[in-house]
């Protein structure tokens, strides 16, 4: 099924982990994909090569979403291809520390990437999506986290950053619906990527005990949901958050 044929998708943080799989999955759906990255050019180019080998089209584009010029570069790359019709705000970082030890810098650094980055990327993409009056509509999918729904020890910065993005998701959905722009979120649980590679094995074991489906997540568990929310099957869904966590928060 190529339900995204003719669409240009822009995925931030697509060099690795969940974002890389989202880029591959949107390409499988027929989208041409801008593969955003911050520092790992080779990894992003490998994702582009995989998509090309499977018959798709993609471009690796550098841009730090914590900066306005970085966001501009990513959105401009999608504009040059006639998009973006789909924006996936996936780029994200953690910097865990218990609240009493967390510095102001640690707090704001995480919000700069996860929250301000998502806001700026969305505003710049929406300028195009809103004006284009595309009869097929456009979609933004924000990758938040169960940490932003229920809170996690050591993640005052990260949980706040993701809860804020979820709030923005609802606001933008209300503002943009009249122009057929849909804004949704996915909230993954514990997904095996570089982001959680250094987590204490005891924390992993504890997480496993809390997951009814008895395994950690994989990027392939998240990407199909993003593809669904980006596509025509979700034409009447906006302002929602789909939790993908093996049942952990059920």
Is 221 an interacting residue with respect to ligand NAP (CB under 6 A)? no
Q: Give yes or no for residue 238 binding ligand NAP (CB under 6 A).
A: no
CA 239 and chain centroid, separation: 15
R_g over Cα of the chain: 17
Residue 243 C-beta-side C-alpha neighbours within 13 Å: 13
Count how many Cα atoms sit within 13 Å of the Cα of residue 206 in the half-sphere of its side chain: 6
> Among this protein's residues, is 158 annotated catalytic?
yes
Binding flag, residue 91, ligand NAP (CB under 6 A): yes
Q: Which residues of 83-98 are buried (b: 16+ CB within 10 A; e: fewer)?
A: bbbbbbbbbbbbbbee
| Residue 209 to residue 114: CA distance in whole angstroms | 28
| CB 161, min distance to ligand NAP, A | 8
Among 42, 104, 105, 194, binds ligand NAP (CB under 6 A): 194
Counting residues that bind ligand NAP (by CB under 6 A) gives 29
Q: Per rule CB under 6 A, is residue 137 in the interface with ligand NAP?
A: no
CB 165, min distance to ligand NAP, A = 9
75-78 contacts, C-beta under 8 A, 24 or more apart: 75/10, 75/121, 75/124, 75/125, 75/128, 77/10, 77/34, 78/8, 78/10, 78/34, 78/125
Which residues in 58-77 contact ligand NAP (CB under 6 A)? Answer: 64-66
Closest distance between ligand NAP and the C-beta of residue 216, in Å? 8
Nearer to ligand NAP, 132 or 146 (CB): 146
User: Across the strands, what pairs with 243?
Assistant: 187
Instruction: Work out how close the CB of 219 gets to ligand NAP at its nearest, in angstroms, rounded to a whole number.
Output: 7
* CB closer to ligand NAP, 69 vs 135: 69
Is residue 113 part of the contact set for ligand NAP (CB under 6 A)?
A: yes
- The phi-psi region of residue 228 (left if phi > 0; otherwise alpha if psi is between -120 and 50; otherwise beta) is alpha
Of 3, 30, 40, 130, the residue at the interface with ligand NAP (CB under 6 A) is 40
Rounded Cα gap, residues 89 and 35, in angstroms? 12
**Nearer to ligand NAP (CB atom), residue 162 or residue 180:** 162
Catalytic residues: 158
Using CB under 6 A, list all residues that contact ligand NAP: 12-13, 15-19, 37-40, 43, 64-66, 90-93, 113, 143, 145, 188, 190-191, 193-196
């Amino acid at each position: 099924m190529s339900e995204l044929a003719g669409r240009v998708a822009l995925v931030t943080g697509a060099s690795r982990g969940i974002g890389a799989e989202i880029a591959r999955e949107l390409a499988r759906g027929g989208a041409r994909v801008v593969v955003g990255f911050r520092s790992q050019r080779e990894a992003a180019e490998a994702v582009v090569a995989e998509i090309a080998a499977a018959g798709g089209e993609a471009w690796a584009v550098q841009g730090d979403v914590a900066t306005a010029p970085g966001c501009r570069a990513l959105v401009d790359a999608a504009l040059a291809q006639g998009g973006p019709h789909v924006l996936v705000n996936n780029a994200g970082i953690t910097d865990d520390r218990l609240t009493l030890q967390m510095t102001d810098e640690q707090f704001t650094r995480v919000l700069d990437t996860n929250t301000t980055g998502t806001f700026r990327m969305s505003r710049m993409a929406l300028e195009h999506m809103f004006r284009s009056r595309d009869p097929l509509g456009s979609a933004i999918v924000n990758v938040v986290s169960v940490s932003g729904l229920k809170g996690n020890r050591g993640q005052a910065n990260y949980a706040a950053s993701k809860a804020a993005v979820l709030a923005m998701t609802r606001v933008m959905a209300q503002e943009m619906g009249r122009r057929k722009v849909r804004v949704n979120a996915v909230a993954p649980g514990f997904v095996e990527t570089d982001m959680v590679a250094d987590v204490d094995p005891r924390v992993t074991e504890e997480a496993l005990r809390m997951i009814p489906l008895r395994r950690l997540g994989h990027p392939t568990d998240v990407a199909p949901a993003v593809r669904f929310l980006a596509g025509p099957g979700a034409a009447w869904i906006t302002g929602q958050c789909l939790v993908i966590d093996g049942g952990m928060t059920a």
